[in-house]
Chains A and B, each alone.
Chain A
Amino acid sequence: MNDSQMGERGLRHLLSLENMPKEIVIDILDRAEEFLSAASGGAKKVPVLRGKTIFNLFFENSTRTRTTFEIAAKRLSADVVNLNVSTSSQSKGESLLDMVNNLVAMQADMFVVRHSQSGAAHLIAKHVPSGVHVINAGDGRHSHPTQGLLDAFSIRQYKNSFDGLRVAIVGDVLHSRVARSQIHVLKTLGVDDIRVCGPRTLVPGTVSDLGVTVFHEIEKAVLGVDVIMMLRLQHERMAGTLLPSPQDFFRGYGLTEERLLLADNDVIVMHPGPINRGVEIASSVADGPRSIILPQVTYGIAVRMSVMAVLLGNSL
């Protein structure tokens, strides 16, 4: 883990899950569980972050992720400001750091940052004054730590323990920040058998440097696994020199009911959403009994609440 995300009192920013201490991961998951059970008991909104101001800085459009962060902040009673930056000051030529400095002057307590460039959240975290926190909501191909944490949370809800788990991650690993975060958090939690699978254009051999086993045949990758995590295939990569067509990808790597039968009987199927039906996954699997795709969304809010509470709690 980059030291730049640690403060004197513990986790100050959430930038990446790489080498994050296990106790911090467990603490975030445990607190998410408390928020989840409070919500199911009717107490959706809690006053933990009353008076705090959180800016959602989205340099890339993502209504879904931004909404889950917004709901999480509001349930913690924080004030939330959404800035869709791709249409505002960047087009006026204001630099990223100028913009952040202005928002800091407006007494921001936390930035939730999504950016198309790997390392953008690190850059902001390096420049904000102490007392201001940064959550990386996805930076380029590098990291999407809250997604990794919510995936770990989801697995824990269904599997109880991470010991001896076999996990397959299928799709465009090369360009996926989600896959990187999933791999890091699963390794921290003790999962040794992590398999990644896709054609060599999307899963080159160097991916094994992340500490995973590389497969190019999905039938072998999912054999006997407890968890299948499908990745979203971006539209711009569906037809070109990386892949000929979405149909061809589905033919080789789509998760079908037949392929699902090769996995463990109690396998769970996950996807970060939004899903491309008939590209990564057959509708019958996405909507079927092994799918936990919709519960993942619910857990995502609890996990994001937990991350915000942990970070701001460390500055109190």
Chain B
Amino acid sequence: MNLVIRGGRNLDVRTNEFEIRDVFVIDGRLASAEGALGVNSFDIEIDARGKWIFPGLIDLCARFGGVIDQNLELAQREFDAMSSGGITDVVISPDEKLFLDDSSEVEMLLHRSDRFASTRVHINGAMTKSLGVDLLSEMQELKRSGCFGVSLGQAPVPDPKTLLSLMQYAKTMDLPIFISPRDKSFYDDEVMFSGERAIRLGLPSVPNFVEAIAVSTILYCAENSGVQVHFSEISTALAVDLIRQAKSKGMSVTCDTTINHLHLSDADMEDFECRYKLRPPLASPKDRLSIREGLRDGTIDAISSGHSPTSDDDKNLPFGEAAFGASGFELLLALVIKWATEDEVSIPVALSKVTTGPAKILSMPSVSTSEEGAPANLCIFDPDHHWTVDCSNLKSSSKWTPFSGETIRGRVHQVISDGKLIYSEND
């Protein structure tokens, strides 16, 4: 299929400059104007005047919860949510409803994503059976069935001896580890961070150092085992500091934060509103500033959606009993742009946190809008469209997000993955 995008402002990721230029896609790959000379007619012509064109988004931290194996319609909605959010690649990690600890689950998920033929799925298999602490998963088999890496999802990090063993085995199988640093001893109380808010609401809470304890344990074990580690969902200043130090020592660790922790703190929570119930919980305004500083100085490599779908039944409960998690696929891009505007970060630099930054972590080949022969994974974005987040209009099956009611800037118009148009706003 041949496709042309005319008149858009095209981001060159090598120079971080936008330029108005037509983009040609021939047989799924980017082509130069000269390369497209021989094409008489295009299957699809997109008028992108006034729009931005940049590489498709790569979301390093999302999970499907129970929705993916319930029924195809729910699964389809999550894939629709991804593609309409401009996401062309997503990393799915295990969770307590979808363990991804054996090859049949991994193959099922890959089969489903092939069937929907939209966003590419990169799977982290479970490091342990049922995300427990006493039995390694069959990592060789997981790798053979298509897993990119392994993860504990949001399960607590085991004791150092067990963790080291898990890492040594993963390293042997040459699998990177994606890990959300949740401390085991504080795990059950990690509903909020300690402070005025938690004490006032009488909710279980943990001190602000618990994430850093887990990060510290992971760093020691990673250094010893030599395994490649990516930290997911970093939310606190102390954890950012530890990762910054590790990087400055030359350790090849990477990390992401989520749109929730980039924009919100516990000061933004409405009392007992379960759409703010997240794992990790929202930290203090000071932590949020440190997250932003970490993004600016390169300590934090990527921004993820942290997408965790939850059903109404699991959220319509008292705060302490309600499920953790929020919908994020459809908000990721607009919230990255919002951060860029608020902190006066240039748009190309901000976009690198959802494009070239995560691409490096996934060892993906060229991510580009202009490199001839590169795979055509593109997002066409209208920066002037302002919209209000209305949960009932989200494509995801999960309607819970702390951003509901907020007006944000920018909307995805079209998304092209491997040269195919997988989303068009007018559809």
Residues on A lying within 8 angstroms of B by beta carbon are 2, 18, 95-97, 115, 117-120, 122-123, 127, 139-143, 174, 177, 180, 204, 206-207, 209-210
Contacts and interface: CB of A to CB of B under 8 A. Distances in A.
B318 A118 contact: yes
A122 B271 contact: yes
22 contacts: A2-B271, A95-B313, A95-B317, A96-B317, A96-B318, A117-B321, A118-B202, A118-B203, A118-B272, A118-B318, A118-B319, A119-B272, A119-B318, A123-B272, A123-B317, A127-B316, A141-B203, A174-B199, A177-B202, A206-B196, A209-B196, A210-B199
B160 interface: no
Contacts of B272: 118-119, 122-123
Given A177-B202, A180-B200, 13 more contacts: A96-B318, A115-B318, A119-B201, A119-B203, A119-B318, A119-B320, A122-B271, A123-B316, A123-B317, A123-B319, A139-B202, A142-B201, A174-B199
B194 interface: yes
A97 B321 CA distance: 13
A117 B271 contact: no
A143 B317 CA distance: 17
B199 A117 contact: no
A117 B195 contact: no
Contact of B201 (A118, A120, A123, A207): A118
Contact of B202 (A97, A180, A209): A180
A174 B318 CA distance: 19
A209 B200 contact: yes
Interface in B182-202: 194-196, 198-202
B317 A118 contact: no
Which A-B residue pairs are the 6 nearest by beta carbons?
A: A141-B202, A119-B272, A142-B202, A117-B318, A209-B196, A120-B318
A119 B319 contact: yes
B41 to A, nearest CB: 58
A132 B320 CA distance: 25
A2 B270 CA distance: 9
Contacts of A123: 272, 316-319
Contact of B320 (A127, A140, A177): A140
Nearest to A120: B318
Nearest to A141: B202
Interface residues of B, number: 18
A206 to B, nearest CB: 5
B318 A206 contact: no
A198 to B, nearest CB: 14
A174 B205 CA distance: 11
Interface of B: 194-196, 198-203, 271-272, 313, 316-321
A6 to B, nearest CB: 14
Contacts of A209: 195-196, 199-200
A121 to B, nearest CB: 9
A30 B320 CA distance: 36
Contacts of B318: 96, 115, 117-120, 123, 139-140
A119 B320 CA distance: 8
B313 A118 contact: no
Contacts of A18: 200
Nearest to B195: A206
Given A122-B271, A123-B272, A210 B316 contact: no
B202 A143 contact: yes
A149 B200 CA distance: 18
Contacts of B320: 117-119, 140
Contacts of B321: 117
- Which of B195, B201, B202 has the most C-beta atoms of chain A within 10 angstroms of its own C-beta? B202
A177 B199 CA distance: 10
A118 B320 CA distance: 7
A42 B200 CA distance: 41
A206 B194 contact: yes
Q: Which of A95, A115, A119, A127 has the most CB of B within 10 A?
A: A119
A76 to B, nearest CB: 28
A18 B320 CA distance: 20
Nearest to B270: A2
A122 B319 CA distance: 10
A97 B315 CA distance: 11
A234 B183 CA distance: 27
Contacts of B194: 204, 206
A44 B196 CA distance: 43
B200 A210 contact: yes
A3 to B, nearest CB: 10
Given A123-B272, A206-B196, A97 B201 contact: no
**B200, B271, B318, B319, most chain A CB atoms within 10 A:** B318
A229 to B, nearest CB: 17
Contacts of A141: 202-203
Contacts of B196: 206, 209
Nearest to B320: A117
A11 B318 CA distance: 22
Nearest to A4: B271
A119 B271 contact: yes
A90 to B, nearest CB: 11
A40 B201 CA distance: 38
A301 B321 CA distance: 32
A95 B313 CA distance: 8
A180 B200 CA distance: 7
Contacts of B195: 206, 209
A121 B203 CA distance: 14
A141 B201 CA distance: 8
Contacts of B317: 95-96, 117, 123
A115 B320 CA distance: 11
A155 B262 CA distance: 47
Contacts of B201: 118-119, 142
